[in-house]
Amino acid sequence: MADLSEIVEHLDMALRVADVKDFPGAWNGLQVDGRSPVDKVCVATDACMATIEQTADNGGQLLVVHHGLFWGDPLPLVGRSYRRIRALIETDIALYSVHIPLDIHPMLGNNALLARQLGLSIEGRFGTWKGIELGVWAVADRPLNDFVADVQGLCGGTTRVLRGGPPHIRRLAIITGAGGSMIEQAHAGGFDTLLTGEGRHHTYHEAMEFGVNVIYAGHYATETLGVKALGESLADRFGIEWEFIDHPTGM
């Protein structure tokens, strides 16, 4: 067992939640308090009713997620917001959320882990947002079709490819989640291919006109690796049980 405050302090420091900027109103860290000590942590990509209820059913005292409950101005506790908060409080489950600090972490981050699990050697950072470099880049001397097959095998689901670049890729940019807005940055950086989760309709034309391949492997699918790494690291450090709650959105 481990004291909840010790786990929170460790996560805050390891992920630098006080130093890393995020979207306005996004709250990184402990979002809902809960019982202590903790002998089982559940991790999930999203804080939704399904993952909260599964954490309770599976005996977890702490739920660590990438997408938490709070993203903007304070919301009234009504409807969905009320039901999720009530479910956490009634089962005395703590909720910890970490967004961009997890994306950019060099060892536990979604981007770094996605690159490494695809057998790539990371060469540097990619994708600037408000002064923060969110993603990574690598050399990938491979046919596009072969690389897409590897992405499909790792991420599952449906992988969509915008074939705006060459059929043989050499310089690859990676940014998990909703990174479709980074096509122009990929082009400007000399990358022929961008691997991300999802993008908007107009990104098709950007890919074609900037000459960049864009691989959309799914927002959810590209952002499961970081929370899994967090669960494993907490188990190693504190000697507690961990479990990944898989609740794919197909998006």
Q: What confidence score (pLDDT) does residue 73 get?
A: 78
Token pair for residue 41?
């942590």
Residues 213 and 163: beta-carbon distance below 8 Å: yes
What Å distances lie between residue 248 and 7, 24, 147, 153, CA to CA?
Answer: 26, 26, 23, 16
Q: What confidence score (pLDDT) does residue 85 get?
A: 95
Q: In angstroms, rounded to a whole number, what is the distance separating the alpha carbons of residues 175 and 207?
A: 15
The structure's pTM equals 0.96
CATH of 110-222, one of 3.40.50.80, 3.30.70.980, 3.40.50.720, 3.40.1390.30: 3.40.1390.30
Q: What confidence score (pLDDT) does residue 47 get?
A: 98
Q: What confidence score (pLDDT) does residue 181 get?
A: 96
Q: What confidence score (pLDDT) does residue 72 get?
A: 81
Token pair for residue 214?
């864009």
* pLDDT tens string 8-44: 999 999 999 999 999 888 999 999 999 999 999 999 9
Q: How many CA atoms lie within 13 A of 217 on its CB side?
A: 26
Token pair for residue 52?
């909260």
Q: What confidence score (pLDDT) does residue 74 get?
A: 77
Domain ranges of the chain: 4-99, 110-222
Q: What confidence score (pLDDT) does residue 71 get?
A: 86
Q: What confidence score (pLDDT) does residue 64 get?
A: 98
SS3 call for 75 = coil
DSSP code for 223: G
Sheet with 160-163, strands from edge to edge, namely 122-129, 132-143, 168-175, 193-196, 213-216, 160-163
67, β-bridge pairs: 46
SS3 call for 22 = coil
Q: What confidence score (pLDDT) does residue 75 get?
A: 80
Domain spanning 4-99: which CATH class is it, in words? alpha beta
SS3 call for 89 = helix
Sheet with 29-32, strands from edge to edge, namely 29-32, 94-97, 62-67, 40-46, 241-244
Q: Residue 98: phi, psi to the nearest 5?
A: -145, 120
The neighbour count for residue 21, using CB atoms within 10 Å, is 13
Residues in the chain where the model's pLDDT stays below 50: none
Q: What confidence score (pLDDT) does residue 157 get?
A: 80
